[in-house]
Amino acid sequence: MLKFETELKKIKYLVLKEVAQLAIEDNMNKLEMLKIPYKILNEKQAEYRCCVYRERTVVYERAQLAAGFKPDDNLTNELESISDNDQIIYVIASACDQCPLNRFRVTEACRGCIQHRCMEVCSAKAMVRINGKSYIDQNKCRECGLCKKVCPYNAIVEVMRPCKKVCPTGALEINPDDKRAMIEKENCINCGACMAACPFGAISDKSYIVNIAKLLKEKKKVYAVVAPAITGQFGPQVKVGQVKNALTKAGFKDMVEAACGADAVVFSESEEFVERMKEGQKCMTTSCCPGFVNYIENQFKDLAENISTTVSPMVATGRMIKEMDKDSYVVFIGPCTAKKSEVLRKELKDAVDYVMTFEEIAALLGALQIEPSECDEDPVQDASTFGRGFAQSGGVTAAIQNFIDSKEIDIEFNPTKVSGKDEIKKTLMLAKAGRIPFNFVEGMMCEGGCIGGPATMTSLMKAKGQLIKFSKESESKDVITNKKVENFEKVNMHKHK
């Protein structure tokens, strides 16, 4: 039985489950979607919002997004499909709490000191003295933060909207008319950080759960490529082998570890690194995290040529499956929203048909009344210990170091591993300035790596221990001993054709 760490995750699960049920029953239409709020909410009393009417509107908008439609709180409008759009992350307007916007505020800790350095540094003249203490005129404040930096008592606090604070590109803006969050699509990298940060669940990812449910219902040959971060997502006692069994019961032809593709990526990326260094290039960055790749292309365009051309483990595994089974469909299951944008890239569309998150696969299994904890355990031995380690920050670096050492390659490998927007920005700024003491950058947009992804059901701290345990269970203790890498001999391991 699933246990949810927050009420938001529970609500999202219930909505996705109802949408999946409609798809399975081939009963997806606006009228049926309008019934979803009444199925999962208390009809008479609001539990989370100001009133039941707003709660129903929020759930309806969430259901629209889950079904692949643009979230719209106007019940008279027709459903607008967004399945083919590149944008993955959307704001659910009715759920946004329109958080207070005064970024800096003077607290009671202000001592009314004689020096008043806060007033001296304020070029906007927004800092004034009232009754001997500092006060910020919000009409003049430019939110530069200098007053906060110079206050010796730390009496000035900074309050930012959680969604805006975590956005790595500044794509999360505030609508000046209604004060709700909005996303500037040109700068959005679909990393899902804002989705994970919003405590009101006002930001979510569009889903392909309807498309996937239909494929399974039609008995198509659908393979599930599962990220190693899956371990522990259905509870600490549920084995990955049980998840595999559950997926086959759901109609998937087979489950393949994306970590198997990670092993193949190690071969390709290591060879590419050696070649680049011999050509005199100073640095190469990894390509397995689409959020990291999108961030470089969006914010550090000059460094885009440093990105490895080796495909991600997801793409490598998808291509391998389609090489072996030409008529198959491939669905990637992971913790990442940016993966949904990765498969839409023109040069990668041949690999994976759909991406679904851990939240979505849990809901699909729930709609099919399949409980992983009650399933038998099937064998899962597609990948090495190092391949499975890709799911945490430092995993790629460790795998490539292991490969270079095992092959006794004569090359200087001086890596750095960074995760989270702050570490990444700092490192890329140094790289742009040419002040880097390293020649290999492993970047993960989510702090801690994939196990800290926005669409996980288990916290980072709980997932990390589960991943380490799962990695150690692999029969292949290093990349070069994994015989299944031979399946990638005919696979194009690069983004270009």
Please write down the long-range contacts of 4-10, taking CB distance under 8 Å and 24 or more positions apart. Answer: 4/457, 5/457, 5/458, 5/459, 7/48, 8/199, 8/200, 8/201, 9/359, 9/457
How many helices and strands (H and E) does the chain possess? 18, 15
C-beta separation of 278 from 298 below 8 A: no
- 494 assigned to some structural domain: no
Expressed as residue numbers, the domain containing 60 is: 7-94+170-207
Asked whether residue 221 falls in the same domain as residue 203, the answer is no
- 187 assigned to some structural domain: yes
Per-residue pLDDT of the chain (497 residues; tens, 9 = 90+): 788 999 999 999 999 999 999 999 999 999 999 999 999 998 788 888 889 999 999 999 999 999 999 999 998 999 999 988 899 999 999 999 998 778 899 999 999 999 899 999 999 999 999 999 999 999 899 888 999 999 999 999 998 899 999 999 999 998 878 889 999 999 999 999 999 999 999 999 999 999 999 999 999 999 999 999 999 999 999 999 999 999 999 999 999 999 999 999 999 999 999 999 999 999 999 999 999 999 999 999 999 999 999 999 999 999 999 999 999 999 999 999 999 999 999 999 999 999 999 999 999 999 999 999 999 999 999 999 999 999 999 999 999 999 999 999 999 999 999 999 999 999 999 999 988 899 999 999 999 999 999 999 999 999 999 999 999 999 999 999 999 999 999 999 999 75
- 496 assigned to some structural domain: no
Q: Are strands 127-130 and 133-136 parallel, antiparallel or unpaired?
A: antiparallel
What's the CA gap between 291 and 300, in Å, rounded? 13
Asked whether residue 116 falls in the same domain as residue 87, the answer is no
- 338 assigned to some structural domain: yes
Asked whether residue 239 falls in the same domain as residue 327, the answer is yes
C-beta separation of 244 from 333 below 8 A: no
Asked whether residue 371 falls in the same domain as residue 457, the answer is yes
pLDDT at 78: 94
Asked whether residue 112 falls in the same domain as residue 63, the answer is no
Asked whether residue 188 falls in the same domain as residue 273, the answer is no
- Angle of helix 7-24 relative to helix 209-217, nearest 10 degrees? 40
Token digits of residue 164: 């805006």
Asked whether residue 151 falls in the same domain as residue 287, the answer is no
What's the CA gap between 145 and 156, in Å, rounded? 9
pLDDT at 497: 54
Distances (CA, A) of 215 to 204, 222, 256, 271, 352: 24, 7, 18, 38, 14
Tally Cβ neighbours within 10 Å of residue 9.
18
- 447 assigned to some structural domain: yes
- 22 assigned to some structural domain: yes
Asked whether residue 379 falls in the same domain as residue 458, the answer is yes
Asked whether residue 287 falls in the same domain as residue 409, the answer is yes
What's the CA gap between 129 and 111, in Å, rounded? 12
- As a residue count, the chain comes to 497
Asked whether residue 363 falls in the same domain as residue 464, the answer is yes
- 163 assigned to some structural domain: no
Helix (H) or strand (E) holding 382: none
Asked whether residue 87 falls in the same domain as residue 134, the answer is no
Residue carrying structure tokens 């004034």: 128
- In terms of Cα–Cα distance, which of 364, 379, 337, 391 is closest to 234? 364
Q: Which residues contact 372 (CB under 8 A, 6 or more apart)?
A: 234, 238, 242, 243, 245, 246, 365
- 293 assigned to some structural domain: yes
Number of domains in the chain: 3
pLDDT at 45: 85
Asked whether residue 273 falls in the same domain as residue 367, the answer is yes
Q: SS3 for 142?
A: coil
